[in-house]
Amino acid sequence: MNSNPLPKSIYGCSAKPLLTAVRTAFGAVPDHRGEAKVFTLVDSLMSGLAVFGLKYPSLLKFDEHNEEGIIKHNLKSLYGVEQAPCDTQLREILDPIDPKYLRSAFVALHEIVDRQSLLQKYEYLHGHVLVSMDGTGHFSSCKMGCPQCCVKIHRNGLAENYHQLLGAVVVHPDLPVVLPFMPEAILKADGTTKNDCERNAANRLLPRLKADHPELKVILVEDALGANGPHISLIKSLGYSFIIGAKPVGNGYLFNPLDAHVKDGTAHEFEVTDESGVLHGYRYANGLKLNASHPDILVNLVEYWEVKKGKVLNFSWITDIKITPQNVAYIVRGGRARWKIENETFNTLKNQGYHLEHNYGHGKKFLATVFGCLTFLAFLVDQIQALGCPLLQRAKASRRTKASLWDRLRALVTTHYLSSWEELWWKIIRAKEPVIDTT
């Protein structure tokens, strides 16, 4: 985290400075085209971002509205787009762009969050931040594909092409807003026939995360897929900590020593009932060997059970953080915050207006991944505003659901000439305020 922030007034978390930072980052993306350029690469990327920022269900509809002149005007006033390409042109321009060039836009936005001291809200366990990591699909088809598609052969012999992204997002147990980093594509590498997987993608994502944010003190929270020796060694080599799900079934090497402590009465174990009558049980031991293949890797294991209205839930995690009676509840809450990548990130991106799984165009090179990354980027812009822009917060509070906020936003952008984001948010806020007669 930034220990010596620049004056906050320079930055701000409203749409304009955020999109200006993105635009500046896009300006460094190398242009793959020759001399004849009707549309600039920056305008094309910003137009793509606008599709997701304005929650358009398809590029075609975006283009239809563009014909009317209003959206063209608003693309300029809201996204700084001088000239927007049509849907076909947009796909052709964006397809050859290597998604790695979009990384600097994510970094620029996270730097703003840090400089605004908003990252402090996410501090957990002595200045760390929890980063939840998981994969999600964003394209699958038995008909369409590209050389980078991973392929799954079904029992009936049908071949299904698919693309996935490995996401990494800053989460906090008490905050609904999550902050995604640049996702890592899970795709076949050029010239290979072998499918890529989450573990390989993690091997690429984590060192890049470290390079982008060298000062960030990270506690990774992951599901049980991450509970393996090579992955834990990678995490430790980067100076990160972890809270990773662990399953007792088939994992006796790790869990049996804890059971032995329970039997001889030397385990650390206690239960507490909170103010709402929910019972929380904790049992833990430090310094256990991870598994037979990696007995040199020592981890700390916590078993947790929750009893709420007669219903019992059980979870277990391994961590490199030494577990004490004072921090065990924090470790458990940190481990449970992993779900925010499912609920507050992937679910939002797929079902709350962003259409992550919609096929905007697959392309021959990178298009599907470029669209996927732009969706994450538009989401990050919205999330930062939700965290630090009072106008978006008021607009959001004025609508019953996020869906109705985005519906209203889309309606205004397609029917009104807007001069700025401020005007847009105020129109949404004031539409719900009572009329005051001052005559």
Give residues in contact with Zn ion (CB under 5 A). 146, 149
d(CA 349, CA 166): 14
* Nearest CB to Zn ion, comparing residues 54 and 146: 146
SS3 404: helix
DSSP annotation of 19 reads H
- Taking the complex as a whole, the smallest distance from the CB of residue 164 to Zn ion amounts, in Å, to 11
* Nearest CB to Zn ion, comparing residues 71 and 149: 149
CA angle 143, 144, 148 (to 5 degrees): 130
- Taking the complex as a whole, the smallest distance from the CB of residue 373 to Zn ion amounts, in Å, to 14
Calculated CA dihedral for residues 177, 394, 404, 68, nearest 10 degrees: -110
- Taking the complex as a whole, the smallest distance from the CB of residue 364 to Zn ion amounts, in Å, to 9
Alpha carbons within 13 A on the beta-carbon side of 137: 11
E strand segments, 309-435: 311-319
- Taking the complex as a whole, the smallest distance from the CB of residue 59 to Zn ion amounts, in Å, to 18
> Which residues lie closer than 8 Å to 263 by C-beta, 6 or more apart?
none
Burial of 2 (0-12, 13-18, 19+ CB in 10 A): middle
- Taking the complex as a whole, the smallest distance from the CB of residue 372 to Zn ion amounts, in Å, to 11
d(CA 243, CA 4): 29
* Nearest CB to Zn ion, comparing residues 376 and 421: 376
H-helix or E-strand containing 350? helix 347-351
- Taking the complex as a whole, the smallest distance from the CB of residue 62 to Zn ion amounts, in Å, to 22
* Nearest CB to Zn ion, comparing residues 353 and 363: 363
* Nearest CB to Zn ion, comparing residues 320 and 357: 357
171 close to 340: Cβ distance less than 8 angstroms: yes
* Nearest CB to Zn ion, comparing residues 141 and 324: 141
- Taking the complex as a whole, the smallest distance from the CB of residue 198 to Zn ion amounts, in Å, to 17
* Nearest CB to Zn ion, comparing residues 55 and 91: 91
Q: Are strands 218-222 and 241-245 parallel, antiparallel or unpaired?
A: parallel
